[in-house]
Each structure stands twice: as C-alpha cells, then as structure tokens.
Structure 1
Amino acid sequence: MFSKIMVPIDLAHADRMTGAISMAADLAKLYDAQVCYVSATTPTPSSVAHTPKEYKAKLDAFAQKEAAEHGQTATSHMVISHDPTASLDDDLVKAVDEVGADLVVMATHVPNIGDLIWASNGSRLASHTKASVCLVRTGG
C-alpha cells in the first residue's frame, strides 16, 4: 500500500519523536517500504550544527542509526530554510514531492488554543499533498 514513508524530524528534539519514528518503522516493515527522514535547517549555525554540511552529516547518521535499529532501508533529505518557523509547512509540502513519499508519519502536539489560529503542519500536509498523513501524539 505504501512504498515511501517520509518522517519529518527535528534533530534538536528527536528524543520527543520516538512514537512517530517507531510507527514509521513498523509501517515500513509491514509494507516493505523505505523511510526517508526529512529535516530543515538554516544556512547559519544552530544548536545542532554549525553549517548545513555538518547538519546533513548528522541527519544522515540519524537515518542510518534508525535503519540499523529497525532493520529497514532509510534515507535522509535536508531542507535549507532561512526561517524554518515561517516556512516549514511549505518546505514539508515540497519535500513530499521531492522524496516521492506516499505516506507521512509525523509527531504532533496535543491541540491547544493556538491551533484555532494556526493550522498544524500535519493539517497542511494532508490538504496540500497527495500523501496520506499519520499524526502521532507526543504528549499529554
């Protein structure tokens, strides 16, 4: 049913995304699908990496660690964004096409009052791509 699963990852908070990562791994096994971890960074230094090249290396290492841990095929795709906070939705929509994903598995927060004003990243992906979207709650 699915052949390419995209998993948006924030390397600074990957420890909070274990539910989505595990679900993507389980679905990849079930459907013999490839997983692609997608992450956005800025061209300037961040808390994760000093340069986009260093960030890419860390994202690649993350993907390979997850692939080995879950026994799956995994790749990574880095997006360079001047303002990930403002453009993350559009960046993720483009990434779905760039990686050829037919399913996106992503972590999401418990809805709050802010969601009445700003739509979630998952909502944007569901309404602006052809991919199916599975949202995994990160906490209560």
Structure 2
Amino acid sequence: MEDNTKTRLSEHFTLEEMCRSGAAIKHHISNTPDKKQTERLRQLCLNVLEPLRRRFGVIRITSGFRSERLNAIVGGADTSQHMRGEAADIHISNMETGRKMYEYIEANLDFDQLLFEHSMSNGACWLHVSYKAVKGLNRHDAVPFYKAA
C-alpha cells in the first residue's frame, strides 16, 4: 500500500497529522484511512479546523482518524466518528481558550458534534469536534461539559 500520509488535506493540515497516534506506533498498528475516510478528513479540515485556525492561530490535533483496531485499544466508542474520518480532538492550553474555541465553533461553524471534554482521571481537557460532509446531516449537538473516562 502506498504511503500517502504526507498528503495535504487543507492549507494547514496534513493526513499525517490527522492520523498520528502514539498508541498506533506502540502497538504496531496501521492507522491509514481509505479514500472515503481521507475525503471526510479533508472536509473536516476545510469546514471546521481551518476556520478555527484562522480565528485562534495554530491548533494541535491530539486524535484524528482511528482505525477500528486503534479505536478499540484507546477505549473509543464503538460508533466513534474518528473511525469514519469525521472527528478530531483538539488540544487546549487552558480552560479560557477552550471555552472561547467551543463558543466560536458553536456560534459560527457547521458541525455534527462538539464536546468540551474533561478527563475525570487526570484533569485534562480537550475539544472533540465532528463534521459530516453530507448537507443537512450535521446535528449541531453541543455539550459544554462532557465527562470523559
């Protein structure tokens, strides 16, 4: 299989960045999306991540695409949109920035799901955002305080 991870999905995001996973490396798991999943990642980048970057500057993706096997290893939901290439988790440097990003996405962007996730075990916080490329399917489901495992 050809390594296409250097593929640019949008101006500031690459396929490599959207597929990077320490868990995949540790467990020797392939985490390469197919063409449909790659196109969904591209739409997520173009419609959510690029506008967010224009507004807030550089953003770091901590989890993008996940293969089924990787998703199981990291404890992802059985129906996780990460496996379809429709979701990304975004690192937030502090609660205030996270709140501003959350409010910006909710008020200005088309999205399927937006979660301001808080880990009960280690206190970490991040934004989970998903996007469906098919017009009219995005639910705009926003949860400002979502307890993650």
TM-score (norm 2): 0.32
User: Which has the larger helix fraction?
Assistant: 1
TM-score (norm 1): 0.33
User: Structure with the greater relative contact order (CA < 8 A, sep ≥ 6): 1 or 2?
Assistant: 1
